[in-house]
Chain A
Amino acid sequence: DAKTTQPTSMDCAEGRAANLPCNHSTISGNEYVYWYRQIHSQGPQYIIHGLKNNETNEMASLIITEDRKSSTLILPHATLRDTAVYYCIANFIQGAQKLVFGQGTRLTINP
């Protein structure tokens, strides 16, 4: 699986858009980009995934660069409940979905 690189921590004001970057420069053609988040002492929660095109769901948007070497997760109107550790994962679609979690980005939403 491709290694991903994320900033250790970020801050964002409540109500603003939170933009979380992820670098996956060694990603291969059949690896999807997944985003999960983990609120303290809970199990991770799936947010979104994508392959090439930008994706949007009720929680967030995922913007993947044309060369697929990086992506950005966007939380359009951050709330205090979005404070969590956000994990960016590159994962093969064939075989076992063995997710490799790095240390993620600790996002703090400030009132």
Chain B
Amino acid sequence: DGGITQSPKYLFRKEGQNVTLSCEQNLNHDAMYWYRQDPGQGLRLIYYSQIVNDFQKGDIAEGYSVSREKKESFPLTVTSAQKNPTAFYLCASSMGLAGPYEQYFGPGTRLTVT
């Protein structure tokens, strides 16, 4: 089955630790995205990538880092510099950036930092 996988579904960390969230897609999509969602709110864009080895900051990139070494993978690291890391994190992909392409979302990772 084609799709986007995110792991794990739930993640718990202590304050001050970096944590990496996994996102993999087998849709052969060029573009990938990371969003954050807080309770009762819409999604906010953290980072996006158009092609391998290229990525751009979204609206709330501070305290986060990404890499795009393979087309299929776009991991997100939540660093200790992120002031409020507890949130629901969603990864998405699309065929590209330039067209009216729909984005396909993964199931999300719920991160809790205490």
| A residues apposed to B, CB below 8 Å | 32, 34, 36, 41-46, 49, 51, 87, 91, 93-104
Interface SS, A side: loop
- Tell me the complex Cα distance, A96–B100, Å: 10
Residues of A with C-beta under 8 A to B103: 36, 44, 46, 97, 99
Whether the Cβ atoms of B42 and A49 lie closer than 8 Å is no
Whether the Cβ atoms of B100 and A95 lie closer than 8 Å is no
Residues of B with C-beta under 8 A to A45: 105
- Category for how many chain B residues contact A: 20 to 34
- Tell me the complex Cα distance, A36–B98, Å: 19
Q: Which 10 residue pairs across A and B have the least CB separation, nearest first?
A: A43-B105, A101-B42, A46-B102, A101-B43, A32-B100, A96-B97, A93-B100, A44-B105, A102-B42, A43-B90
Whether the Cβ atoms of B45 and A98 lie closer than 8 Å is yes
**B50: interface (CB < 8 Å):** yes
**Which residue of the partner chain A has the closest CB to B95?**
A97
Residues of B with C-beta under 8 A to A43: 4, 90, 92, 105-108
**In the assembled complex, how far is the CB of residue B87 from the closest CB belonging to chain A, in whole angstroms?**
13
- Tell me the complex Cα distance, A23–B20, Å: 38
- Tell me the complex Cα distance, A86–B13, Å: 31
Other-chain contact of B43, A41, A44, A49, A97 (Cβ < 8 Å): A44
